């Protein structure tokens, strides 16, 4: 009888241990899950409660002053982005003249913009050594959603190869592609570098300025800052291949920055 009672006691104790162990496992499992849920909730709450991060130390008054010389469309894009706490995405696109020089005008302009706008404008540089037709046959990733496009539309590369009307179509097609990612994107055009002894090329550049005015695009005419195409001094700002050297790139960049940065 005592042996039977001892067996029952052992069984009872084992049952208690099993139940206690199961209960302990359940508590451990619950405790392990709760911190994860709490962390997620805390992160979600933090994202909701914390005010939108300031993307630049630039003030709105400072921005309005800097952007005073831009066309209305571009200026409003900057102000709207500032109000929404977002950075402006700028795409600089053009021929291989873009990065000719040490450094090229695009890199120089990027540095000037970054310094003046305190990181508010983020710049991407895209250069292509060919005609506008060749450029349009290339695949360009525009998924970033560029707010402003500063474009040198391959006018010199097109000289004698691509007609003016076709160049205009390429510009409009590229802008359409840009706007498929950012519908309110603004386009600013500027001509390539001047070259010594230019003839028909001058008419192409005049046509580009007229086209920009017709389409209400921004336009930056940097040619007056260079020596005239009939002046041999122009060669001092160009390489033997007719591309801007370092001095030529500096002239070009300064004229572009004058448009974006009102001193």
Which pLDDT belongs to residue 56? 80
8 A C-beta contact, residue 189 and residue 171: yes
pLDDT at 132: 98
Q: CA dist 212 to 128, 166, 170, 209, Å?
A: 21, 15, 13, 5
Per-residue pLDDT, 45: 34
The per-residue pLDDT for range 36-60, each reduced to its tens digit, is: 232 323 333 333 333 345 568 899 9
Segment 115-127, tens digit of pLDDT: 999 999 999 999 9
Please give the structure tokens belonging to residue 85. Answer: 């706490």
Q: How far is CA 256 from the centre of its chain?
A: 17
Mean pLDDT of 158-179: 98
**In this structure, are residues 181 and 144 in contact, taking their beta carbons and an 8 Å threshold?**
yes
Model pTM score: 0.80
The closest of 216, 126, 201, 208 to 170, measured between CA atoms, is 208
């Amino acid at each position: 009888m005592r042996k039977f009672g001892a067996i029952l006691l052992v069984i009872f104790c084992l049952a208690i241990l099993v139940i206690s162990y199961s209960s302990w496992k359940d508590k451990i499992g619950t405790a392990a899950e709760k911190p994860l849920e709490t962390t997620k909730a805390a992160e979600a709450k933090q994202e909701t409660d914390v005010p939108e991060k300031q993307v630049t130390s630039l003030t709105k008054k400072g921005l309005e002053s800097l952007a005073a010389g831009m066309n209305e469309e571009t200026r409003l894009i900057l102000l709207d982005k500032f109000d929404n706490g977002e950075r402006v995405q700028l795409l600089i696109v053009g021929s291989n003249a873009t990065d000719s020089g040490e450094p090229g005008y695009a890199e120089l302009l990027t540095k000037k913009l970054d310094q003046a706008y305190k990181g508010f404008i983020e710049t991407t540089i895209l250069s292509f050594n060919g005609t506008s037709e060749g450029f349009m046959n290339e695949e360009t990733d525009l998924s970033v959603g560029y707010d402003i496009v500063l474009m040198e539309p391959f006018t010199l590369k097109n000289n004698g190869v691509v007609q003016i009307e076709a160049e205009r179509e390429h510009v409009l097609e590229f802008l359409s592609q840009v706007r498929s990612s950012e519908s309110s994107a603004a386009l600013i055009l500027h001509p390539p570098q001047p070259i010594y002894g230019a003839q028909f090329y001058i008419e192409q550049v005049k046509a580009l300025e007229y086209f920009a005015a017709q389409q209400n695009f921004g336009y930056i005419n940097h040619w007056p800052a260079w020596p005239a195409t009939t002046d041999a001094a122009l060669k001092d700002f160009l390489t033997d291949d007719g591309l801007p050297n370092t001095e030529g790139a500096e002239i070009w960049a300064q004229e572009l920055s004058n448009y974006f940065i009102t001193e």
